[in-house]
């Protein structure tokens, strides 16, 4: 059985990517970084699998299409 995808917060994303907070949000706006998902009224995070995909190939990363969903 596959492990469920964890939600990671900004501090973890910053540590894994080596990017600054402003660079992450700029890249999200450009469509070159995984967008956040809302986890509560005031909280958001990222799917760990999306961040792992970006770290593996930052230049070639593209959002998954619905047909690509696992």
Residue-wise pLDDT tens digits, 19-69: 999 999 999 999 999 999 999 999 999 999 999 999 999 998 888 776 555
Predicted confidence band at 13 (pLDDT cuts at 50, 70, 90)? very high
Chain-centre distance for alpha carbon 55: 9
- Confidence at residue 67, expressed as pLDDT on a 0 to 100 scale: 59
**Tokens linked to 62:** 């593209």
Q: Find tokens 């990671």 and name the residue.
A: 8
Which sequence spans correspond to the domains of the chain? 7-59
Answer yes or no: is pLDDT of 2 > 80.
Answer: no
> Which residues lie across from 37 on neighbouring strands?
45
List of residues 6+ apart from 68 with CB closer than 8 A: none
* Count of Cβ atoms closer than 10 Å to residue 36 Cβ: 19
- Confidence at residue 30, expressed as pLDDT on a 0 to 100 scale: 94
- Confidence at residue 54, expressed as pLDDT on a 0 to 100 scale: 96
């Amino acid at each position: 059985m596959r492990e469920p995808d964890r939600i990671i917060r900004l501090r973890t994303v910053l540590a894994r990517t080596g990017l600054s907070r402003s660079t992450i949000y700029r890249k999200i706006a450009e469509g070159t970084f995984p967008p956040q998902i809302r986890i509560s009224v005031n909280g958001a995070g990222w799917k760990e699998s999306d961040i792992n995909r970006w770290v593996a190939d930052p230049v070639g990363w593209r959002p998954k299409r619905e047909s690509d969903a696992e």
